[in-house]
Amino acid sequence: MSKNHELMLEKANESIEKVKDIVKYSKYRQRYHFMAPAYWMNDPVGLIQYKGKYHLFYQHYPYAPHWGSMHWGHAVSSDLVHWEHLPIALAPSEEYDYHERGGCFSGSAIEDNGVLYLFYTATTNYGSGFIQTQCLATSTDGIHFNKYKGNPIINEPPVSGSSDFRDPKVWKYEDAWYMVIGSSRDKRGKALLYKSFNLYEWNYVGVLAESRGELGTMWECPDFFHLGQKGVLMFSPMNLGDRKAVYLVGDMDYKTGKLFWSSIGEVDWGFDCYAVQSFLDNKGRRIIIGWANSWDWMPWWRGFGPPASENWSGSLTLPRTVELCPDGKLKFAPIEELVSLRYDYNTMSDIIIKENKRLPVRAGDGISYEIIADFDLTKSTASSFGFALRCSETEETLLECDISSGELVFDRTHSDNWSEGIRRCPLESASKDSIRLHIFVDTCSVEVFTDDGRTVMSCNIYPSEKSTGIYIYSRNGSVKLSNLETWGLSSIW
């Protein structure tokens, strides 16, 4: 390891050491969602199972609860649920990756012959605008990482790209390695494809997929993988309004390097899911994790919410499995290991909830819990119904099935003193006989899975710890709750 890298890591780890015990007891701290030990985090990166452990790295600024020169934080887990924080893996330290508004940006991990390879974008500034190049660091113990002496391994974008040239995701197919990199040109987001036989020398193949003007100006964090016979590309488009995590499904042609996609959808419809990365675990599952925040839905001066006052910012979504449906859409499910957090089981069934008569529900302590609710639409007349979560006299968060418009609605208008906005997305089961909502609530987030996992929404809220009420309500008619199961979810820390 270079002397400078060693020094920069030491300084960063010391900074975290000083505050991490205070953050442990902060009010908004998530109980079962991954967080950095302190200060800022964004994208999950380098997800991999290596030498028997799940490794999770993340974009990290270890000096303040806001974005800054990027490091790679690091944690390991045996079950993808409980995490152990490790020392920071990468710090900006070399001429090619050092800058106060740059650093070691997002990337991915692979293993080859027992060696763990991290691919990341080095962002620096040689005077006019940013320079982004692709770099490599390796490890044989999964804890200490050496930056490759020959970095950068890709030192400029191809003509079909631009200086926005970041977030390499690497995978193997047959006898070669492939890398997809996010870029843009003429205000059209793109995923650029590279190929290598030795992980050090990369040749540009071409544009794997791109926006024709309808899919955003730059594609951050592209991630390509195979599901059965199909190829899937996920990315986070810039300047595409509410759409923060899009997927394309189609046929991958390695001869031309193109993904001929025929199906498109949202990995998550919520306010707070961005930069989603996938990996294949040794149970054969394709698992994704996203940053439970996003960049540009709010004016910059609003910042990222109350946790910054507690010396932290950012958490991750729950790990989710991805599967392909026969119609080419994807479906997502929370990983089964999460059941290990359940305690205090409650259930009810066959209850009609009348208009204006809220049904109280018990789930854990009303702050971190899981709910599975089934509604029978053949016995319901309501135009909409749903859950009021994290309720007190002054606060409530509404998660509503709007049958009349066929939408799932997340309403943060009265969630707390900070959050705002209503998010809507199509709810396929509004036109079916029943709706299942699978809901995860944590100190400051709500994730809901419905439509058999084809519709997912993740949103952050920051209610007071006194807001623990949970109710089912119905508007313009009644709804039949056919079955309800709830559990408290315990802390992973």
Question: One of 21, 43, 141, 451 is an active-site residue; which one?
Answer: 43
Catalytic annotation present for 43: yes
183 vs 321 by CB, closer to ligand FRU: 183
Which of residues 107 and 453 has its CB atom nearest to ligand FRU in the complex?
107
In the complex, least distance from residue 101 CB atom to ligand FRU, rounded to whole angstroms: 10
Given candidates 30, 77, 93, 106, which one binds ligand FRU under the rule CB under 6 A?
A: 106
* Nearest residue (CB) to ligand FRU, 54 versus 105: 105
- State whether residue 115 is helix, strand or coil: strand
In 3D space, the residue among 229, 221, 279 whose CA is nearest the CA of residue 246 turns out to be: 221
CA distances for 63 relative to 35, 87, 314, 315, 448, angstroms:
15, 14, 14, 17, 33
Shortest distance in whole angstroms from residue 106 CB to ligand FRU: 4
Kindly tell me which of 84 and 100 has the beta carbon lying closer to ligand FRU.
Answer: 100
Q: Which lies closer to ligand FRU via its Cβ, residue 239 or residue 381?
A: 239
- Closer of 94 and 220 to ligand FRU (Cβ): 220
Q: Is 166 in the site for ligand FRU (CB under 6 A)?
A: yes
Paired tokens of 317: 């979504």
Residues 187, 231: contact at Cβ < 8 Å?
A: no
The owner of tokens 């509410």 is: 242
Binding to ligand FRU in span 275-304, by CB under 6 A? 275
Identify which of 396, 398, 382 has the alpha carbon closest to the alpha carbon of residue 437: 398
Per-residue binder mask for ligand FRU (CB under 6 A), 462-491, x = binder: ------------------------------
Q: Taking CB under 6 A as the rule, does residue 121 contact ligand FRU?
A: yes
Query: What single DSSP character describes residue 341?
Result: G
Please list the alpha-helical segments (H only) found in 63-217: none
Considering the complex, state which of residue 274 and residue 279 has its C-beta at the smaller distance from ligand FRU.
274
Residue 11: in which H helix or E strand, if any?
helix 3-24
- As a residue count, the chain comes to 493
Q: Does 273 bind ligand FRU (CB under 6 A)?
A: no
Question: Collapsing DSSP states into helix, strand and coil, what is residue 310?
Answer: helix
List, in order, residues 6 or more apart from 302 with CB less than 8 Å away: none
Does 441 engage in binding with ligand FRU (CB under 6 A)?
Answer: no
Q: Per CB under 6 A, does 139 bind ligand FRU?
A: no
- Binding-site member from 97, 167, 223, 451 for ligand FRU (CB under 6 A): 167
Instruction: Assess 272 for contact with ligand FRU (CB under 6 A).
Output: no
- Cβ–Cβ under 8 Å, residues 347 and 485: yes
Minimum distance between the CB of residue 59 and ligand FRU, rounded to whole angstroms? 4
Do 221 and 211 form a contact (C-beta atoms < 8 A)? Answer: no
- Cis check: omega of the bond before 168, within 30 degrees of 0: no
DSSP letter for 336, please.
G
Binders in 206-265 for ligand FRU, by CB under 6 A: 220-221
268 binds ligand FRU (CB under 6 A): no
Residue partners of 371: CB distance under 8 A and separation at least 6: 361, 363, 387, 437, 438, 439, 441, 470, 484, 485, 486
151 near ligand FRU, rule: CB under 6 A: no
Residues 271, 294: Cα–Cα separation, whole Å: 7
Contacting residue, 105, 219, 225, 261, with ligand FRU by CB under 6 A? 105
Q: Does 59 bind ligand FRU (CB under 6 A)?
A: yes
Write down the least CB distance from residue 153 to ligand FRU, Å.
Answer: 16
> Which residues are near ligand FRU by CB under 6 A?
42-43, 59, 70, 105-106, 121, 166-167, 220-221, 274-275
Which residues have a catalytic role annotated? 43
